[in-house]
Amino acid sequence: MNRGVWAAPGRVNIIGEHTDYNGGYALPIALPQVVTCRARAGSDGLVRVTSRQHPDEQVAQDISTLADAEVAGWARYPLGVVHEYVRRGHRIPGVVLDLDGSVPVGAGLSSSAAVECSVAVALRDLFELPVSDDDLIDIGRAAENDYVGAATGTLDQSASVLCRAGHALFLDFHTGERAQVPFDLAAAGLELLVIDTNTPHQLADGGYARRRQECERAAAALGVASLREIADVADTERIDDPVVRRRARHIVTENARVLDVVARLREGRDPRAIGPVLTAGHASLRDDFEISTPQLDTAVDTALAAGAYGARMVGGGFGGSIIALTDADRTESIAAAVADRFGERGFDAPRTFVAVPSAGARRVPDAD
Ligand code: GLA
């Protein structure tokens, strides 16, 4: 094969935020919105990258010197993936990558993982490289951690590679267990409304990394390798520093919420029952993890007041999106109520769409 088109989705996390780098649990779905990577094998030793979203910027880099490339911005993500393949000893003789995407950027919906995973899966298939799905996830993570410099976990790449249509993906970041959990909201007359508050976040900024360090301090204070080992929230009371104690309390209670939601869905219970668990997750991210914003809180409170069964902020925090679980016939009125409230408060207008659990990274037919 010397050319093709591959797609990888963004994700929205149903529950389990900031648990990935703490060896905990999460339950994402893949979005219908994807990044596509049109890829062609070359032989000139260069990686050439273009993006339909950045038509004026074309990047060409020598593959043998990618480690020193001074490229910043969107192109650093695809270059990071190529670099990581090479660093692992795979031979890439040259490649042309043309990216196009519909995943909102900076919205907490993993547009960067969608870029990484679309490129990673394209390179694997194009050059027939002996790379497993787990390798793809780790290549994306390494590109993000080591090349871009954002100290994230593997939630986003795991979701982008492994999710299946009609299912949520249960992830255990300690044991590596994964399970597809049927997630059919439509059958229950429900929808999952995503409200992008239009306040972009940056994971390479300090807040995310500080939370990660605080979690490490919490684990050290409790004498465990990761907070995953703490099942009883009362144990967190042993942490002296009140900030670090709150961070730990979020992780311990969030892990319990993931298990609670998964158990309810597996039992085939009415998905409305997970609503209050989602809302409790928001309170924990707001009060204990302290990564919410006035826009996120306003969106959650307004969605609940307008009849949502549950609502919470999603993703890394400090901006981005919320999800609201609602009867399908209330979706529009909830979106309108949030837009009105944002107008009253002088916030930028939010953007909304309904999230349907979709497929993970894959080769797609060439439309051109
Ligand atoms: C970002 C990171 C993930 C994860 C989430 C929070 O999306 O990339 O690794 O930590 O935040 O759950």
DSSP H or E run through 308: none
Question: From the alpha carbon of 21, which atom of ligand 1 is closest?
Answer: 10
What's the Cα-to-Cα distance from 147 to each of 10, 77, 84, 92, 328, rounded to whole Å?
Answer: 20, 8, 9, 18, 42
Tens of pLDDT, residues 281-339: 999 999 999 999 999 999 999 999 999 999 999 999 999 999 999 999 999 999 999 99
Task: Give the torsion sign (CA, 223, 226, 230, 233).
Answer: positive
The answer to whether the 3-179+359-363 and 184-355 domains have the same CATH topology is no
The rounded distance, in Å, linking the Cα atoms of 32 and 113 is: 14
Q: Residue 324: phi, psi to the nearest 5?
A: -135, 130
Nearest to 285 by CA among 320, 315, 326: 315
Mean pLDDT value of segment 47-61: 96
Q: Is the CB of 156 under 6 A from ligand 1?
A: yes
Domain 184-355, CATH: 3.30.70.890
Q: Token digits for 62? A: 């020598």
Q: Is the CB of 138 under 6 A from ligand 1?
A: no
The catalytic residue among 156, 172, 196, 288 is 156
Cα within 13 Å of Cα(313), Cβ side: 30
Question: From the alpha carbon of 20, which atom of ligand 1 is closest?
Answer: 10
Q: Residue 247: phi, psi to the nearest 5?
A: -60, -45
Instruction: State the pLDDT confidence band at 367, using cuts at 50, 70 and 90.
Output: confident
Domain 3-179+359-363, CATH: 3.30.230.10
Of the residues 109, 111, 155, which should be mutated to test ligand 1's pocket, given the most ligand atoms within 8 Å of the CB? Answer: 155
Mean pLDDT value of segment 155-165: 98
Tens of pLDDT, residues 191-240: 999 999 999 876 656 899 999 999 999 999 999 999 999 999 999 999 99
* Residue 156 annotated to the active site: yes
Domain ranges of the chain: 3-179+359-363, 184-355
Burial class (CB in 10 A: 0-12, 13-18, 19+), 65: exposed
Q: Is the CB of 158 under 6 A from ligand 1?
A: no
Question: From the alpha carbon of 153, which atom of ligand 1 is closest?
Answer: 9
Residue with the smallest CA separation from ligand 1 atom 4 is 18
Q: Is the pLDDT of residue 41 over 90?
A: yes
